[in-house]
């Protein structure tokens, strides 16, 4: 992962969006827990 990727992910999370990321067995959902918009989006 490049530092530009990390910056893009950081900006995405700070904007109240969620991210989907692979783990060894399933996909995870990530968000900023202090952002109400992100928390609402994470309840799929």
Per the CB < 8 A criterion, the answer to whether 9 and 19 are in contact is yes
The pLDDT, as a whole number, for residue 44 is 62
- DSSP for 1-44, written as a single string: --HHHHHHHHHHHHTT--EEEE-SSSEEEE--TT-HHHHHHH--
**Model confidence, pTM:** 0.73
pLDDT band (50, 70, 90) for residue 43: confident
Taking the C-alpha atoms of residue 34 and residue 44, their distance in angstroms, rounded to an integer, is 18
Q: Which domain holds residue 34?
A: 3-42
Structural domains in the chain (count)? 1
Query: Average per-residue pLDDT in the chain?
Result: 90
Q: What number is the average pLDDT over the span 19-23?
A: 94
Q: What number is the average pLDDT over the span 8-16?
A: 94
Per the CB < 8 A criterion, the answer to whether 27 and 21 are in contact is yes
More confident residue, 42 or 39: 39
């Amino acid at each position: 992962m490049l530092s530009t990727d990390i910056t893009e992910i950081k900006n995405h999370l700070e904007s109240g969006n969620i991210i989907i990321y692979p783990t060894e067995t399933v996909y995870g959902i990530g968000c900023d827990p202090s952002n109400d918009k992100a928390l609402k989006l994470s309840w799929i």
